[in-house]
Structure 1
């Protein structure tokens, strides 16, 4: 049975703990053998939201199949002692995986696990992370980044994405999808997705029919999605799905898909991809359409 050990630091954020914990707890309910363990320097751990948590003060014996998760907190706080950081380093050195949610990346940095690795954190403190750990490569505006069994994330809800990613790596995408559906998570987001993306900006409405259409577009935006397919997904006519989508989001389904493609292509280009490669990756047969879209939106010059 694999253990998921949560290192709880005072002034911790509840969702940074609860999101990943719910993922692995649900995975256990569905037949994957996980045991959740919560450790801290003291039994009672204060949370930012006011609900105290109870943890054990002794670490279990760990092996390479076990995970350590360090949820984020609101600082400045009293950090773990040097022995705890040594424990984090030792777990990685023996083949174990560690995940830092939001400010949890700071604890991994203090343990020396970010040096020479790609990492991320919440967009409001990315500059601070880069300043504290100049040997790390901070990836801007990513939901999560995995590099040699060290995973870091933007925090809050992205802790769920990290946990689903780890499940997918261990048990395959079907298992992660089962957990996501059980948790009523709309989609397992790619770690490279922007922290503040189109998927978030146009999800504040309450039209469940449009949400179903958006779910389809979000997960298959690189494909050709005829309006007839969207209409079948929405169980209504093509004219109705267009009207409902425009009323809820202010744009047509095609315009929404186009922005998702452009947003993803921009991310790929900022990470070093050529315009031609990015165009293919987001579903365009050649780069001419992508160049026109980027020029129209004032994007950076093409490579």
Structure 2
């Protein structure tokens, strides 16, 4: 996703646009370059909040690694949504057909539906229009009570601020959860759970706090969880005493010490490796345990299987 192009529709909600745009811009500032573009069927696009926006009329050249996002707009009913021309709908279809990813925020799912991209796929939208979306596109599976869905490079999110969650998901998929956690931290947003689905990573699950010292410690542990991190070294790296770091860390993460947090990261990665065919012994070495006994104890403690290949 080197290019992220936003298709702007008259009456769009500013936060539907600004949230994902800020997330990708922040990721770019962290060393993962993105080029953001804005395309519309008219040069000046009115917004629901009254701020007019300027956009280009020509689509840039896009490849399979690029992303098109359709922010949502203010509407009482999807049937009354602004008209999208054949060229815009064709651009959405063609980009997906070439292997690219398309995404929507809020009512923007209507544009994907009109382009035929929701048929046979899971999707979601703002709770006020979920029933209508299901009626208008009966071949789609509209999922309720989730922040976003992803199905065959068609990614949809619920209302307004959930566009940030969608963007963080895409960044985590592309660059890993540690980068997504850094973006969420820089934006001072909570990394929220996605409805009934489990949180993707402990790197995001324990970031719902505003303690900068703890975030800095987590940044170090996230990027080097497979290496030794003695508490004195970690405390010195973030500029506080061992006792202060432990106290702040435990409070911010809901009871985890830095060591337990590191073990959680190691266990999570080990479970991923084991699920893809790695033995317990090999997984233990890969995540930084000197032998497999500690990994087996942690897996047993959390209710996980205790045998190779299980």
- Quickly name the TM-score band, shorter chain normalised: 0.5 to 0.7
Q: CA RMSD in A?
A: 2.6
Task: Give runs of aligned pairs for residues 2-17 of structure 1, distance below 5 A.
Answer: 2-17=2-17
1:31 corresponds in structure 2 to: 31
1:291 corresponds in structure 2 to: none
CA separation in 2, counterparts of 1:193 and 1:36? 32
1:70 corresponds in structure 2 to: 70
Provide Cα deviations, 1:257-300, integer angstroms capped at 9, x if missing partner.
xxxxxxxxxxxxxxxxxxxxxxxxxx9869xxxxxxxxxxxxxx
2:95 corresponds in structure 1 to: 91
CA separation in 1, counterparts of 2:249 and 2:177? 25
- Tell me how far 1:155 sits from its aligned partner: 2.1
Task: Give runs of aligned pairs for residues 90-169 of structure 1, distance below 5 A.
Answer: 90-169=94-173
In structure 2, the CA distance between the partners of 1:28 and 1:127, relative to structure 1 (3 Å rule), is same
Gaps of at least 5 residues in structure 2 are: 198-208, 215-245, 256-300, 305-310
1:271 corresponds in structure 2 to: none
1:50 corresponds in structure 2 to: 50
- Tell me how far 1:87 sits from its aligned partner: 1.1
**Number of aligned residue pairs:** 210
2:251 corresponds in structure 1 to: 234
- Tell me how far 1:70 sits from its aligned partner: 0.2
Decide whether the 8 Å contact of 1:119 with 1:146 is kept in 2: yes
Decide whether the 8 Å contact of 2:5 with 2:67 is kept in 1: yes
**TM-score, normalization by structure 2:** 0.63
Gaps of at least 5 residues in structure 1 are: 195-206, 213-228, 239-282, 287-303
Decide whether the 8 Å contact of 2:48 with 2:73 is kept in 1: yes
CA separation in 2, counterparts of 1:89 and 1:230? 52
CA separation in 2, counterparts of 1:121 and 1:40? 21
CA separation in 2, counterparts of 1:284 and 1:134? 41
SS at 1:5's partner residue?
strand
In structure 2, the CA distance between the partners of 1:31 and 1:169, relative to structure 1 (3 Å rule), is same
CA separation in 1, counterparts of 2:210 and 2:63? 44
In structure 2, the CA distance between the partners of 1:232 and 1:73, relative to structure 1 (3 Å rule), is closer
SS at 1:25's partner residue?
helix
Decide whether the 8 Å contact of 1:39 with 1:58 is kept in 2: yes
**TM-score, normalization by structure 1:** 0.64
Decide whether the 8 Å contact of 2:119 with 2:139 is kept in 1: yes
2:266 corresponds in structure 1 to: none
CA separation in 2, counterparts of 1:52 and 1:86? 25
2:224 corresponds in structure 1 to: none
CA separation in 2, counterparts of 1:99 and 1:191? 16
Decide whether the 8 Å contact of 2:188 with 2:210 is kept in 1: no
- Tell me how far 1:186 sits from its aligned partner: 2.3
> Does residue 180 in structure 1 map to residue 156 in structure 2?
no
- Tell me how far 1:231 sits from its aligned partner: 8.1
CA separation in 2, counterparts of 1:150 and 1:162? 11
> Does residue 20 in structure 1 map to residue 20 in structure 2?
yes
1:269 corresponds in structure 2 to: none
Decide whether the 8 Å contact of 1:11 with 1:77 is kept in 2: no
SS at 1:103's partner residue?
helix
